[in-house]
Amino acid sequence: MLGNNHDLGERTFRHAAGYTATVLGAALTVVLVSVVWMWVRRGDCPGSLLECAGAEKYVLVFVPPTLLAIGGVGAFVQTIRTWRGGGRWAIWQGAGWLLFVFMLIFVSLSAGSLIQG
């Protein structure tokens, strides 16, 4: 019985880690695509990337934190579902808080770009 519970916890950890990595990967992909988009559309603009950016600046500022917030809420929903099922819910709660922390870090770092440009 103990081995079975350990396998369940390990499987829960793998699912939570995979979910977190997928959400972080999606947010980073949007960041990279936005930066490349700004670089390509820069053209002859003498200013910085953010000064020359149009809509891609708003995609860079708003979409990754939104993805991280939705991912965090999804992890917390999975926390409740796992808790009700009697599983190891704390792993999913940690995943949700990790995604929220990354969202707050990204928001604090990117908020200045709205003022700058």
The predicted-structure confidence for 38-55, as pLDDT tens digits, reads as follows: 887 777 677 666 666 677
Number of domain units in the chain: 1
If you average pLDDT over residues 92-114, what whole number do you get? 91
CB-based burial label for 92 (10 Å; 0-12, 13-18, 19+): buried
CA distance 99 to 17: 11
Is-contact 56 109, C-beta < 8 A? no
Q: Of the ranges 45-54, 94-103, 108-117, which one carries the lowest mean pLDDT score?
A: 45-54
**CB atoms < 10 A from the CB of 29, how many?**
12
Q: Is the pLDDT of residue 7 over 80?
A: no
Enclosing domain of residue 95: 2-116
Query: Which of 35-39, 60-64, 73-77, 111-115 reaches the highest mean pLDDT?
Result: 73-77
